[in-house]
Structure 1
Amino acid sequence: MTGDVNTVPLRAAPIDGESVDSWIEELARRHRLSPSQLLPALGLPERARSIHRLIKATPEESWRRMECVAGMPEGGLRSVQLAGQAMRMTLVGGGTRFCPVCLGENGGRWLLAWRSNWAVACTRHRLLLLDSCPSCARTLRVYLPGGTEELPPGTCAYQPQHRSTRCGTDLAALSGIPAPQVALEAQDWIDGLQRDADRNGDLDSAITLDELPAVAYWLMGHEGTDWQARAAELAPGRARTTLLVLNGRLPKADAPLVAVVLDMARTVLGADHEAGVAAVRELSSGRRTRTGVVPAGMNFHRWKTMKGPFPNRFLQSIDTDMTPMDRLRFKSPTPQAGKPGNRTAETRGRHIPHLIWPDWAGLLLPLRSGFRSELFRATAATCLLIPGSSERAYRDLTTHFNRRVTSAHLSVLLQSFGDLPESGLTDVLAAFCRIADYLDTCGSPIDYQRRRERIPAHSLITWPQWRDLACEAGFHPGKSPRDDQTARGRHLHAQRHLLQLLTGADLGVDGHRFGFTGSSDHSRYVTFTHQLTLPLRSALAGHAQRILDDLEIDEPVTWSPPLDLAHGLTLPGALPSTLDTTTIRRIVIEDQRPVSEAAEVLGVHVEHVALALQHLDRPERDWSPRALPQSWKRRQAMPRIATRDFFEHEYVGANRTLHDLAAETGFSRSLLAQAARSHKIPLNKGKAPAINDPAWLRDQYHGQRKSTSTIAEELGTTQMTVNNALHRLGVTPRPPGIHSSEQMINRLDGRLAKDIRAAVEGSLGGWERLHRFQIAMVFPTLKAAAEHLGIPPRTLVVQFQRLERDIGAEIFVRSTGGTPQQPTKRGRRLLDHLEKPHIRSQMAKSIADHELDRLAEHQAAAAQQQFPRPRRSVSPFTEIPVTRLRITAAMLALLKDLMTHSDGECYGALVIDRLKRDPGNIYEQLHRLQAAGWITNRVEDDASWNSRATPGRGPGRRRTYYRLTSAGRDAILHEIARWPTRRRTRERAQSRTDG
Structure 2
Amino acid sequence: MPGTGMRQLRPALSMSLLLVGTRLRLSDTVSRLDSPLDGQALSRILQLLQAHPDWPGIRSALTIMADYLCDHRPPIDYRRRRHLDYTGLLTDTVWQRICRDTGTRGTSAMRARITGCYLFERISGMPAESAPGAVDNAEFRTHIADFPSYLTPQLATALDEHAADFLAHHHIRREPVVWRPPGAVLAGLHLPGEAPETVDVAVLHELIGTQGYTLGAAANGLGITLDLARYVLDLHPAPPRRRRGTNRSLYAFQAARAALPADRFIDLYHRKRLSLDRIAVQVGVSRHVLTQLADSYGIARRAPGNQVRAVITRDWLYDQYVQCRRPLPDLAREVGISNAAMARWAKFHAIPMRGRGGPSHAANLAARSSAATAPALLQPALGEIGGHERLRRFVAAARYDTLTHAAKDLDIYPFSLIAQINRLERDFGETLFQRAQRGHPMALTEFGRTVLSAWESAEITSSRFA
**Could you say which TM-score interval applies, normalised by the shorter chain?**
0.5 to 0.7
Q: Which amino acid is the alignment partner of residue 142 of structure 2?
A: S
Per the TM alignment, residue 547 of structure 1 is displaced from its structure 2 partner at its CA by 3.0
Partners of 1:649 and 1:546 lie apart in 2 by 35
Q: Distance in 2 between matches of 1:455 and 1:574?
A: 37
Q: Which runs of 5+ in 1 are unaligned?
A: 1-365, 480-487, 651-659, 683-995
Say which of 232, 248, 252 aligns to 1:625: 248
Alignment CA distance shift 1:649-1:602 (3 Å): closer
Given that 2:196 and 2:228 are in contact with CA atoms closer than 8 Å, whether structure 1 keeps it comes out as yes
Q: After the TM superposition, which residues 527-538 of structure 1 pair with which residues of structure 2 at under 5 Å, given as runs?
A: 527-538=146-157
Pairing partner for 1:489 from 99, 110, 122: 110
d(CA) in 2 for partners of 1:667 and 1:577?
A: 46
Shift of 1:639: 6.5
Cα-to-partner distance string for 1:677-733 (whole Å, 9 max, x where unaligned): 843069xxxxxxxxxxxxxxxxxxxxxxxxxxxxxxxxxxxxxxxxxxxxxxxxxxx
Q: Deviations over 1:264-297 (max 9, x none)?
A: xxxxxxxxxxxxxxxxxxxxxxxxxxxxxxxxxx
Alignment of 1:736-775 (within 5 A): none
**1:80-131: per-residue Cα shift (whole Å, max 9, x none)?**
xxxxxxxxxxxxxxxxxxxxxxxxxxxxxxxxxxxxxxxxxxxxxxxxxxxx
Distance apart, 1:613 and its partner CA: 1.6
Cα distance change, pair 581–666 in 1 and its aligned pair in 2 (3 A): same
Larger RCO: 1 or 2 (CA < 8 Å, sep 6+): 2
Task: Confirm whether residue 472 of structure 1 aligns to residue 101 of structure 2.
Answer: yes
Aligned counterpart in structure 1 of residue 74 of structure 2, from 429, 444, 468: 444
Quote the residue 1:432 is aligned against.
62
The CA RMSD over aligned residues, in Å, is 3.9
Partners of 2:155 and 2:237 in 1: CA distance: 12
CA contact (8 A) 1:647 1:676 kept: no
Match of 2:128 among 484, 507, 510: 507
Q: Distance in 1 between matches of 2:85 and 2:102?
A: 25
One-letter amino acid of the structure 2 residue matched with residue 547 of structure 1: F
Paired AA for residue 84 in structure 2: R
Counterpart position of 2:40 = 408
Name the SS for the 1:600 alignment partner.
helix
Deviation at 1:578, TM superposition (A): 1.0
- The 5-angstrom pairing of residues 165-564 of structure 1 reads 369=2, 371-392=4-25, 394-420=26-52, 423-454=53-84, 456=86, 459-476=88-105, 478-479=107-108, 488-509=109-130, 512-553=131-172, 554-564=174-184
Query: Which one-letter code corresponds to 1:624 in the other structure?
Result: N
User: For 2:86, what is the secondary structure of its paired residue?
Assistant: helix
Give the CA deviation at 1:607: 0.7
- CA deviation after TM superposition for structure 1 residue 601, in Å: 2.9
Residue identity in the other structure for 1:537: A
Q: 1:679 aligns with which of 303, 307, 313?
A: 303
Tell me the TM-score normalised to structure 1 length.
0.26
In structure 1, distance between residues paired with 2:94 and 2:139 = 26
Q: Is the 8 A contact 1:490 1:528 kept in 2?
A: no
Structure 1 pair 476–400 and aligned structure 2 pair: CA distance change class (3 A): same
Relative distance call for 1:508 and 1:551 in structure 2 (3 A) is closer
The Cα shift of 1:378 comes to 1.9
**Cα shift readout 1:749-778 (whole Å, capped 9, x = no counterpart):** xxxxxxxxxxxxxxxxxxxxxxxxxxxxxx
- From the superposition, tell whether residues 640 and 586 of structure 1 become closer, same or farther in structure 2 (CA, over 3 Å): same
Task: Give the CA deviation at 1:555.
Answer: 1.7
Q: What is the alpha-carbon distance in structure 2 between the residues aligned to residue 471 and residue 500 of structure 1?
A: 24
Q: Note the C-alpha offset of 1:403.
A: 4.4
Amino acid at match of 1:503: S
CA contact (8 A) 1:434 1:565 kept: yes
**Contact 2:123 2:163 survives alignment (8 Å):** yes
Q: Which amino acid aligns with 1:573?
A: G
SS state of the match for residue 18, structure 2? coil
Larger Rg: 1
2: CA distance, partners of 1:569 / 1:670: 55
Whether the 8 Å contact between 2:256 and 2:285 is mirrored in structure 1 is no
The offset of 1:645, in angstroms, is: 4.7
Distance 1:587 1:440 in 2: 40
Contact 1:466 1:477 in 2 (8 A): no
Alpha-carbon distance between aligned partners in 2 of 1:669 and 1:565, rounded to the nearest angstrom = 49
TM-fit CA distance, 1:442:
3.2
Alpha-carbon separation, structure 1, partners of 2:247 and 2:287? 13
Contact 1:382 1:401 in 2 (8 A): yes
1:559 alignment partner AA: W
Mapped partners of 2:157, 2:289: distance in 1: 35
Aligned CA distance change for structure 1 residues 645 and 534 (closer, same or farther; 3 Å): closer
Return the offset for 1:584: 1.9
Could you tell me how far apart the structure 2 residues matched to 1:606 and 1:460 are?
28
Residues in 1 aligned to 2:55 and 2:33: alpha-carbon distance in whole angstroms: 24
Q: Alpha carbons of 1:525 and 1:667: their partners in 2 closer, same or farther (altered >3 Å)? A: farther
Letter in 1 for 2:303: H
Matched to 2:56, the amino acid is T
2:113, 2:134 within 8 Å by CA — same for their partners in 1? no
Which residue does the alignment assign to 2:185?
565
Q: Judge conservation of contact 1:474–1:620 (CA < 8 Å) in 2.
A: no
The amino acid that maps onto 2:96 is R
Shift in alpha-carbon separation, 1:381–1:456, aligned structure 2, 3 A: same
Q: Please tell me the residue identity of whatever aligns with 2:206.
A: R
- Aligned to 2:190, what secondary structure does the other structure show? coil
Task: Specify the alignment match of 1:595 in structure 2.
Answer: 215
The amino acid that maps onto 2:247 is S
1:822-873 CA distance string (max 9 Å, x none): xxxxxxxxxxxxxxxxxxxxxxxxxxxxxxxxxxxxxxxxxxxxxxxxxxxx
Q: Give the drift of 1:581.
A: 2.6
Structure 2 unmatched ranges of 5 or more: 307-466
Whether contact under 8 Å (2:129, 2:135) holds in the other structure is yes
Please tell me the residue identity of whatever aligns with 1:397: T
1:613 and 2:233 aligned? yes
Query: 2:102, 2:254 within 8 Å by CA — same for their partners in 1?
Result: no
SS of the residue aligned with 1:617?
coil
* 1:516–1:396 CA distance, 2 compared to 1 (3 A): farther
Task: Provide closer, same or farther for how the CA distance between residues 402 and 450 of structure 1 changes in structure 2, counting only shifts above 3 A.
Answer: closer
| TM-score (ref. length: structure 2) | 0.53
Does the C-alpha gap of structure 1 residues 640 and 490 become closer, same or farther in structure 2, counting only changes over 3 Å?
farther
Checking the alignment, whether the CA contact within 8 Å between 2:249 and 2:289 is kept in structure 1 is: no
Q: Which amino acid aligns with 2:42?
A: L
Is the 1:596–1:606 Cα contact (8 Å) retained in structure 2?
Answer: yes
Structure 1 contact 379–410 (Cα < 8 Å) conserved: yes
Distance 1:670 1:419, change over 3 A: closer
Instruction: Pick the structure with more helix per residue.
Output: 2
- Deviation, structure 1 residue 498: 2.4
Q: Write the deviation string for residues 356-390 of structure 1: whole angstroms up to 9, x where unpaired.
A: xxxxxxxxxx5xx5642232212221222222333
CA contact (8 A) 1:533 1:617 kept: yes
- Contact 1:599-1:605 at 8 Å conserved across structures: yes
Query: Letter of the aligned partner of 1:667 in structure 2?
Result: R
**Paired letter, 1:521:** F
Alpha carbons of structure 1 residues 402 and 612: separation in structure 2 relative to 1, 3 Å: same
Mapped to 1, the partners of 2:191 and 2:300 lie a distance apart of 65
Q: For 1:666 and 1:493, how far apart are their aligned partners in 2?
A: 33
